């Protein structure tokens, strides 16, 4: 019987190749997205880099524009995009636009959308409130993407608002955010992702609008996945879990609306306890005030396990990025909370490329220079050195793991300052106690008001269930067996 040393000569896969194949299979099955090679990408920072690149690409469109964003506001930024889209539509380009009802609520008037439609832009609003679906508003289209002519696309965390450019007159600094410019075969995945949401609001896109995948030329050497999550699919959550388990040296995360979700928190804690340099950068103040206390309530279990937590010192950091082991990177719309993982339509690019990963690491270190590190106490701090400077050791050896742990103990903090974690949990519990007390007082003082309120809610829910039963029955009667409406390119 030949020895294992002769296996490569017999044409059998090497252990390293087998492990790589298994990892790729796990990533693809977990995310529901294949790895697409042959792309060129460019990381874009903030509104100053993203908006000009978007507008330039839109103005060069010749055939199709697919534009999808959670927030589009009627301000100088929104009007610049509206004018560019309207001009292309009048020139004969097929322009399709999706905005979320809740995201754009109050930001743009009906007149704003009517003017776009009058110019030839086809506009659809995702999930406006309906009496027949009392809890339907919980699911949102949180994606931010653009695809143009099957030639160029953008996957990003930025919305369309002057908040991303700042307001010097007040003064308010620009929001910190990250996006990705993309060229190559992965553009076909962007078109398919847009069509997925478009058909949820009406008739599917005509097949003629899609770019034939075989006609999209190779543009570079970057491999990536377009993870197009829909409610309850949890593709990115499963992928992030695997990355957290696979990371050996570093796992650096930036998130705008972090709210600790137990399975993911446990994955970060396990990585940190195993010697991985895990860092989380979040805003110090949020445009959604309720988020900050709930976010801080999740710091303690992370800090106790050795995860380093930083808060951005600027107006708002809105980026949703991750980078691990100078190899894997993620940029997109998904936040580290239950709404993004389970409830929303989200879109992210998961990139397998060392050049892009190192670029994000450099950006991350720059961001930490404008942040405050949160510690449990003034004395109890974890200060990791960057593990990529630790002398290399054979993969999985005790010496390599020990070197990372030693670096975690003696390194120098990168944050501009530090602050100890206060009693955040107590303030949240106090708020909940006051709310419950107020409800109890209303029930005691005005019992008829409480009774009518409960009756109205229960009656509404029962009517919506009857309506749903009727619609499901009618749909089965009207649709022929096996008739499926996909609206997606094959």
pLDDT in tens, 275-332: 999 999 999 999 888 888 889 989 999 999 999 999 999 999 999 999 999 999 999 9
* DSSP 8-class letter at 58: H
Specify the pLDDT at position 14.
62
pLDDT band, residue 418 (cuts 50/70/90): confident
From 177, 318, 348, 353, active-site residue: 318
Q: Which of 75, 149, 274, 359 is catalytic?
A: 149
Query: Would you list the domain boundaries of the chain?
Result: 31-383, 433-471
The answer on pLDDT for 250 being more than 60 is yes
Residue 149 is among the residues annotated as catalytic for this protein:
yes
What pLDDT was estimated at residue 13? Answer: 59
Q: Is the pLDDT of residue 364 over 60?
A: yes
Q: Which of 22-31, 212-221, 356-365, 377-386 has the lowest mean pLDDT?
A: 377-386
Cα 407 from Cα 238, distance rounded (Å): 29
- pLDDT > 90 in the chain, percent: 61
Q: Which percentage of the chain shows pLDDT scores above 70?
A: 83
Least trusted range by pLDDT, from 207-221, 300-314, 339-353, 377-391: 377-391
Q: Please, what is the angle between helix 235-246 and helix 262-273, to 10°? A: 10
Query: Which pLDDT value is given to residue 476?
Result: 73
Q: Is the pLDDT of residue 65 over 70?
A: yes
Question: How high is the pLDDT of residue 1?
Answer: 36
Q: Which of 142, 177, 229, 255 is catalytic?
A: 142
Domain 31-383's class?
alpha beta
Q: Is 142 a catalytic residue?
A: yes
Q: How far apart are CA 56 and CA 301, in angstroms?
A: 45
Q: Which of 177, 240, 320, 348 is catalytic?
A: 320
Residues in a beta bridge with 222: 39
Segment 93-99 mean pLDDT: 98
Cβ contacts of residue 271 below 8 Å, gap of 6+?
A: 244, 245, 247, 251, 278
| 318 classed as catalytic | yes
Q: Which of 74, 240, 255, 325 is catalytic?
A: 325
Predicted confidence (pLDDT) per residue in 426-470, tens digit: 666 777 777 878 888 878 888 888 887 888 878 877 877 787 787
155: pLDDT strictly greater than 80: yes
> What average pLDDT does the structure give for the chain?
85
Q: Quick one: pLDDT at residue 391?
A: 39
Q: Which of 46, 99, 141, 144 is catalytic?
A: 144
325 is catalytic: yes
pLDDT at 126: 96
Cβ–Cβ under 8 Å, residues 419 and 372: yes
Under 8 Å between Cβ of 263 and 370: no
Q: What is the mean pLDDT of residues 151-163?
A: 97
Active site residue 380: no
Identify the pLDDT of residue 468: 73
Q: What are the two backbone dihedrals, phi and then psi, of residue 42, each rounded to the nearest 5 degrees?
A: -140, 125
- pTM exceeds cut of 0.85: no
- Does residue 489 register a pLDDT over 70? no
Of 174-178, 230-234, 441-445, the range with the lowest mean pLDDT is 441-445
Helix axis angle for 110-118 and 76-90, nearest 10°, is 20
In the residue annotation, 144 being an active-site residue is answered as yes
């Amino acid at each position: 019987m030949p020895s294992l040393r002769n296996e490569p000569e017999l044409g059998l896969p090497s252990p390293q190749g087998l492990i790589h194949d298994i990892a790729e299979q796990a990533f693809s099955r977990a995310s529901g997205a294949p790895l697409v090679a042959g792309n060129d990408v460019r990381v874009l920072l903030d509104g100053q880099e993203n908006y000009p690149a978007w507008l330039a690409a839109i103005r060069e469109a010749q055939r199709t524009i697919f534009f999808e964003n959670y927030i589009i506001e009627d301000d100088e930024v929104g009007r610049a995009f509206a004018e560019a889209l309207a001009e292309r539509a009048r020139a004969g380009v097929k322009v399709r636009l999706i905005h979320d009802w809740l995201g754009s609520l109050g930001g743009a008037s009906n007149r704003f959308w009517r003017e776009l439609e009058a110019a030839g832009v086809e506009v659809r609003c995702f999930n406006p409130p309906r009496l027949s679906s009392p809890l339907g508003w919980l699911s949102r289209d949180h994606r931010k993407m653009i695809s143009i002519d099957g030639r160029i696309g953008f996957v990003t965390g930025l919305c369309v608002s002057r908040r991303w450019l700042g307001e010097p007159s007040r003064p308010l600094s620009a929001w910190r955010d990250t996006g990705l410019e993309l060229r190559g075969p992965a553009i076909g995945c962007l078109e398919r992702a847009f069509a997925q949401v478009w058909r949820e609001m009406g008739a599917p896109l005509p097949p003629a609008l899609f770019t034939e995948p075989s006609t999209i030329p190779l543009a570079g050497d970057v491999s990536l996945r377009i993870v197009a999550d829909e409610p309850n699919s949890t593709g990115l959550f499963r992928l992030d879990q695997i990355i957290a388990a696979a990371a050996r040296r570093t796992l650096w995360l930036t998130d705008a609306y972090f709210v600790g979700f137990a399975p993911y928190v446990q994955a970060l804690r396990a990585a940190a306890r195993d010697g991985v340099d895990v860092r989380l950068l979040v805003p110090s103040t949020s445009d959604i005030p309720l988020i900050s206390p709930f976010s801080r309530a999740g710091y303690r279990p992370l800090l106790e396990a050795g995860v380093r937590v930083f808060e951005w010192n600027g107006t708002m950091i809105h980026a949703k990025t991750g980078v691990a082991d100078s190899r894997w990177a993620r940029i997109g719309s998904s936040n580290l909370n239950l709404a993004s993982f389970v409830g929303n339509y989200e879109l992210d690019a998961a990139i397998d490329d060392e050049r892009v990963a190192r670029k994000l690491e450099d950006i991350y270190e720059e961001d930490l220079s404008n942040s405050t590190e949160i510690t449990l106490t003034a004395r109890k701090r974890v200060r990791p050195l960057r593990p990529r400077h630790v002398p290399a050791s054979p993969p999985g050896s005790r010496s390599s793991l020990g070197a990372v742990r030693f670096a975690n103990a003696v390194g120098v903090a990168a944050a501009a300052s530090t602050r100890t974690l206060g009693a955040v949990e107590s303030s949240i519990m106090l708020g909940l106690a006051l709310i419950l007390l107020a409800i109890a007082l209303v029930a005691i003082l005005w019992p008829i008001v409480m009774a009518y309120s409960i009756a109205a809610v229960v009656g509404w829910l029962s009517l919506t269930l009857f309506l749903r039963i009727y619609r499901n029955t009618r749909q089965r009667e009207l649709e022929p067996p096996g008739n499926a409406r996909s609206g997606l390119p094959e």
